[in-house]
Amino acid sequence: MQPAFTAMIVIALFAMTANAQVFISRTDSSMDKIIGQPFTLGEVGAVVVDNGKEIKVLHAMPVDMRPKAYKDIDLKDGDVVLMCNGKRLKTLKELEEAYNATAVGADFKMGVKRGDERMIVAFAKADPKDLPKMQMTMSTGDGPMPAGGGNVRRMVVGGHGQNMGDAEPLMGLGLIVGKRDNIVKVVSVLPNAPKGTDFKVDDVIETFNGEKVKSPAQFLEMYDKLAVGAKLEVQYKRGDKTMQASLAKPEAPQGRIMMRTNQ
C-alpha cells in the first residue's frame, strides 16, 4: 500500500529575485490524505492528488502567477477530476498518462466537478521547456527521516525540470533562503518561524554551527543532518550588526511549499 499523509498549508507571496516568486499554500484539512506521488499540471501550477476517494486538485496556482496564456483557465482548489480526454478516471496515474500522451499544442480536457456543478476544463498543452520552473517541497508526517522530523519530498517541473538552485526552504526554521550577488540571504520568514528567533528578510546568513554557509543547498544539507532537538546556532548579519540565533532543532511542520521562477 502506498503511503498517505495529511496536507496542511498558508498563503504567502513574494519575490525572491527580480524574476522569481514563492508561495506557500496551506489547506487546514485533515480529510485530504495524499496517496502516492502528486501530479502537477504546470500550465496552471496545479497539484493534483489521489486522496483515496477521488482525484482532487489540492492546489492551483493563483491566476496572477500563471503564464499569460493560462490565466483564464477555470481550475480551482478542491475541484474533483472525473474524466480526461473523454475517458473516466479511476487513478491519478491514468490522468498523468493521458497528459503525457497529449501532443504539445493539442487540447488537454478534463471533466471536473465543483460542488454540484460539472464542467469541462480545457487548455493547450505547453512545451515543458516553455513553462516556468516550479519546485514543490512537502514536509510530511508519514515516517521519520534519518535525522528525524518527518519525510521531505521534492518535485521540480517545467524548464526541463531544472533545479531552481537559488532558493531552499528550511521548514523547521520557518525560512526560505536564497542566493543573491553570491550572498546567502533570508528571502522570506514563514508564519511557523520558531519563537525566540528574530530573522528578517535580507538578513545575511554567515555560519551554521560554526561552518561558513556558501549556498542555500549547503545550508539545507547541514540543517537536515541534525536530529530534532539537537542544538544549532546560526550567525547572521543585519546591516552592520552581527547577530546569532541559538535553539534546539524543531520538528518540521507538515505542509507544502511551491516555488516558481518566471522565464
Per-residue pLDDT at 178: 83
Spatial separation of the C-alpha atoms in residues 54 and 114, rounded to whole Å = 13
| Domain positions in the chain | 4-130, 133-252
Per-residue pLDDT at 74: 95
List the grid coordinates of 12. Answer: 504567502
List the grid coordinates of 245. Answer: 540565533
Q: Which residues of the chain have pLDDT under 50?
A: 1-31, 140-165, 262-263
Q: Are 138 and 110 in contact (CB under 8 A)?
A: no
Per-residue pLDDT at 128: 84
CA torsion 153→83→120→155, rounded to 10°? Answer: 10
Per-residue pLDDT at 155: 47
Name the CATH superfamily housing domain 4-130. Answer: PDZ domain (2.30.42.10)
CATH fold of 133-252 reads Pdz3 Domain (2.30.42)
- Quick: pLDDT tens for 42-67: 898 888 889 889 999 987 877 877 88
> Residue 259 phi/psi, 5° resolution?
-120, 135
Per-residue pLDDT at 7: 39
Contacts of 97 (CB under 8 A, 6+ apart): none
Contacts of 203 (CB under 8 A, 6+ apart): 185, 186, 236, 237, 238, 243
